[in-house]
A and B are shown apart, each in its own frame.
Chain A
Amino acid sequence: MVKEVTEVADSVVKRKRAPPTRFAVAVALALSMPVYSLHADHGATLMAALPSDLTELSLDQLLSIEVTSVSKRPEPLSSAAAAVFVLTGDDIRRSGARRIADVLRLVPGLNVAQVDARSYAITARGFNSSSADKLQVLLDGRSAYTPLTSAVFWDVFDAYLPDIERIEVIRGPGATLWGANAVNGVINIVTRSAADTQGTEVSGGVGTEERAFAALRSGTHVGDVGAARVFVKSAHRDAALMADGADGQDGSRSDRAGFRSDWTLSDVDALTVSGSAYASRFNTAPTATVPEPRPTDASGGHVLARWAHGDGASDTWTLQTYYDHYQRDIPSIYGEVRDTLDVDFQHRIALSERQSLMYGLGFRHTRDETEAPPSVAVVFLPEARTLETTSAFIQHQSHFLDDAVVLTLGSKFEHNDFTGFEIQPGARVGWQIGERAFTWAAVSRAVRTPNRLDSDLAIFCPPPDGFPGICGPGLLRIGNPDFRSERLMAYEWGLRLWNENDLTADLATFYNDYSDLRSQEQPGQGSAFGNFANKNEARSHGAELTLGWRPRTDLNLQAWYAYLHIDAKAMAGSTDVTTAGTLEGLSPRHQAALRASWQPSDRWQVDGIVRYVDALPAERIDAYTELDLRLAWRPRPAIEVALAGRNLLDHRHVEFGAEGEQKAIERAAFIEFTWFWP
């Protein structure tokens, strides 16, 4: 990200005329990290598929079943009326991924592209960019996207991975529950309760790209009423390569610490308190504008408290509040400090055996201070801004025809400081056909509300001359204060089939109709950069097919394929001739993967995934196929040794980035030792 913006600033200096969209993309890339609002427990309804005979499940699968569900109506994955996929903690531990972003490569239909040594472009169902703005991402109820760009700063979005209990991914709109930004998908990451992470784990390792890493996690019971854990972790990462094989000089060091405590207040009340802090330093290669670059620094932290009340009977509620702070300083490009306070309440009532009602209220207050010119090139006008969002949602679920049909109707109501009220209704229906089939359909409306980038972005062109032909001296505003929300109407249909022999098939299809997408209009006289407007539209359709097979109890196989087609064009009256091509050409049309997990004995685990990602014509990036492998050996219950290889099929390959500025991702291997003390 840093790199892209630096390059853009360079091209300005060199009076190379950068295409406007490229600039917009690059600026967007520059600003990518965490904040915003959430509904703590929506994920509770998504559980692993339950066969009728539970003895078929492994012990760890059994332990992940909610035996006392919030809803009183545990909803197995096989009957969720949405394109849902759940990664279990076991999947995550066995993936060999060292970052959340890489874990997400296991999820069918998600497009995960590594941009350089630190940053990622991640989306579902298209519109990828390293500041992809149509995805809602939550970690234990905290929204990870920044109101600055609606993107996630993947380079600092992390956790102690073995503590993650599951990652639930919904492809397609989830706005009815999750609100703005849940346009193309929702990623909900849930960590284990502190009661489940007792004892101490110490791990450490070395590798070719993951140069050195170490972590410690320790948990304890606190009397009879609670449990707590703490973790610290640290990682040194090597740089990526330039496309020609030269050193990318973007290595990094990241340190992180966190805690979580869970308390039983009464039979029906539970309190969770958690917190974290992190600091990362990312090196940057020298450029024409910044010949002696200082490294980029990013740091932040949060505290969160959640009170869950429920007698396991007819109604439950949760009240959650968190405070989140981060700061990010990319020297001579941009600087930001942000503080966010979020309060969220939700209440679920079982109206009868066949009907349940859920509603919620949320409030978020976020304030930023961005760095002012002349020290930086990318600025926001005004430099400091407070934004408040108030939201409410209501959702009703009813079962008909002996529970074979479930109908879910609901809407989110949201008020934001840019566009006022937004309504995001949705309807979903699911139909259980006999014992072995389930079909569903949904119609939803979702919006991506404006952010600081859309509204307030400007570039600083230094006096006395500015950059002739590009911008005059002073501030050139690109953001548009009248920017409206981007809109989506989504139509989805899906089918799931399974048989007695643990063979499952999950097909999801969609047709999406987007309007008012961000455009960048032609500039006026003497300027290279026009203003943002809402003058692009797009239609997309696609399908995702996931097949699962468990031929033996010790072997799990999964294959998936995703197809995506996007038609984008400028709306009437627009002068934007480039963005539509970018929207179409930055997401792969075909993706596929084959994953195998084999546990030959208690002591050995073997895991592998082959991934295929189609070309990105907009930046002339070739299709690639890669292989990740992990072998773990547990000579004694208290010791594990794991050897992992990533991107094994190529010495280096490019996954994302502006043409001419791309970084190549290298083949990598690492070894990790873990000690467990009870």
Chain B
Amino acid sequence: MIVRAPTLRPRCRPRLTAALLAWLLAVCPALAAADEGALALKVKAAVLFNFAKFVTWPSSKFRSSDDPLLLCVLLPDALGNTLDESVRGKTVNGRPLKVRRAAQAAELRDCHLVYSSDERVDALTEALSTLSGHSVLVVHEYAQPLRDGSIRLLINDRRLRFEINVAAVEREQLQLSSKLLVLSDVVRR
């Protein structure tokens, strides 16, 4: 017959528990929320940079071979500054990247990529129709897929996802790398 657990265990257990509890009580200050949005913005900016890498625009969108690639943000939006920092000094296919901001979509027609996080469907639809036909890759975050708008960003399971609207992409004469298609959630035809 084997003797049961040595007496050491039962003796030290309550003491350890009490010490842990006391320590926990001592270190619990008031609840406060932590800043979170910064990481999401950085990830979005990096994803937009990747879109720029994997999309081919018609040559008519560039005046010369070293014409910059314009990444644009429809105001009001917080992403612009993060985008500035993220793409500063970087190039895609030899083209420098420039970030532009504007409150009116009409000012963004020569952009290659336009990002909008506008949640008002009226404003968004208007912007999309303004940019339509100008070979602009529009990236939006509206809660539903839209008829126009090439790519929709969404957050699912705490991670960033994107859907590609193939019909809109084709209308805008953009070519997407299969890399994007493979990683996208839904490809609408």
Q: By the criterion CB–CB under 8 Å, are A482 and B161 in contact? A: no
Asked whether, in the complex, the Cβ of A350 is within 8 Å of the Cβ of B161, the reply is no
B22 within 8 A of A: no
Residue of B nearest to A396 (CB): B24
Q: Are A352 and B178 in contact (CB under 8 A)?
A: no
Task: Give B93 Cβ to nearest chain A Cβ, in Å.
Answer: 14
B180–A59 CB distance below 8 A: yes
State how many angstroms separate the Cβ of B175 from the closest Cβ of chain A: 12
Are B32 and A480 in contact (CB-based, < 8 A)?
Answer: no
The answer to whether A65 and B16 touch across the interface, beta carbons within 8 angstroms, is no
A677: nearest residue on chain B (CB-CB)?
A: B187
* A interface footprint on B20-63 (CB within 8 Å = 1, 0 otherwise): 10011001111111111001101111110110001000000000
> B30–A66 contact, CB under 8 A?
no
Query: What is the bound-complex CA distance between A60 and B161, given in angstroms?
Result: 10
Cβ of A63 under 8 Å from chain B: yes
CB distance from B141 to the nearest CB of A (A): 12
Task: Indicate whether B156 reaches chain A with its CB closer than 8 angstroms.
Answer: yes
Specify which chain A residues have a CB less than 8 angstroms from the CB of B40 in the assembled complex: 67-68
Q: Contacts of A619 on B, CB cut-off 8 Å?
A: none
Q: Which residue of the partner chain A has the closest CB to B50?
A: A59
Q: Could you say which residues of chain A place their CB within 8 Å of the CB of B42?
A: 54
Size of A's binding interface in residues, CB under 8 A: 64
Give the number of chain B interface residues (Cβ < 8 Å).
Answer: 54
Do B13 and A423 have beta carbons less than 8 Å apart?
yes
Of A80-88, A141-149, A192-200, A326-334, the one with at least 4 CB within 8 A of chain B? A192-200
Q: Is A411 an interface residue (CB 8 A)?
A: yes
Establish whether residues A534 and B2, one from each chain, have CB atoms under 8 Å apart when the complex forms: yes
Q: What chain B residues lie within 8 Å of A289 (beta carbons)?
A: none
B129 within 8 A of A: no
Question: Could you say which of A69-77, A381-389, A643-651 contacts chain B?
Answer: A69-77
A55 and B187 CA atoms in complex are apart in Å by 24
Please tell me if A472 contacts chain B, counting CB pairs below 8 Å.
Answer: no
Question: Given the complex of chains A and B, what is the CA–CA distance between A195 and B180 in angstroms?
Answer: 17
Q: Cβ of B155 < 8 Å from any Cβ of A?
A: yes
Assembled-state Cα–Cα distance A492/B9 (Å): 23
Given the interface contacts A54-B42, A196-B156, does A59 sit within 8 Å of B186 by beta carbon? no
Kindly state the separation between the CA atoms of A66 and B44 in the bound complex, as whole angstroms: 12
Are A66 and B159 within 8 A (Cβ)?
yes
Q: Please report the C-alpha to C-alpha distance between residue A411 and residue B19 in the assembled complex, in whole angstroms.
A: 12
List the A side residues contacting B189 at CB < 8 Å: 678
Contact A54/B46 with A195-B161, A357-B28 known, Cβ cut-off 8 Å = yes
In the complex, which residues 133-189 of chain B have their Cβ closer than 8 Å to any Cβ of chain A? 144, 155-161, 177-183, 185-187, 189
Whole-angstrom distance from the CB of A166 to the nearest CB of chain B? 11
Shortest CB-to-CB span from B151 to chain A, Å, is 12
Give 1 or 0 for each of A465-496: 1 = CB within 8 Å of chain B CB. Answer: 00000000000000010111000000000000
Instruction: From the candidates A65, A349, A396, name the one contacting B43 in the complex (CB within 8 A).
Output: A65
**Structural contact, A55 and B86, CB atoms closer than 8 A:** yes
- Which residues 14-66 of A sit at the B interface, judged by CB distance below 8 A? 44, 53-55, 57-60, 62-66
A11 close to B (CB within 8 Å) = no
A-B contact pairs, 17 of them (CB 8 A): A53-B86, A55-B50, A64-B159, A65-B43, A65-B160, A68-B155, A68-B158, A70-B158, A192-B157, A199-B186, A351-B29, A352-B30, A355-B29, A480-B2, A483-B2, A603-B178, A634-B178
In order of increasing CB-CB distance, the 8 nearest A-B pairs are A54-B46, A193-B157, A678-B187, A637-B178, A67-B40, A482-B2, A72-B34, A59-B50
Residues on A close to B: CB < 8 A? 44, 53-55, 57-60, 62-70, 72-74, 192-193, 195-196, 198-199, 221, 224, 262, 270, 312-315, 349-353, 355, 357, 394, 396, 398, 409, 411, 413, 419, 421, 423, 425, 480, 482-484, 533-534, 602-603, 634, 636-637, 676, 678
Please give 5 more A-B residue pairs, beta carbons under 8 A apart, in addition to A394-B20, A423-B16, A482-B3: A59-B180, A196-B157, A312-B36, A637-B178, A676-B182
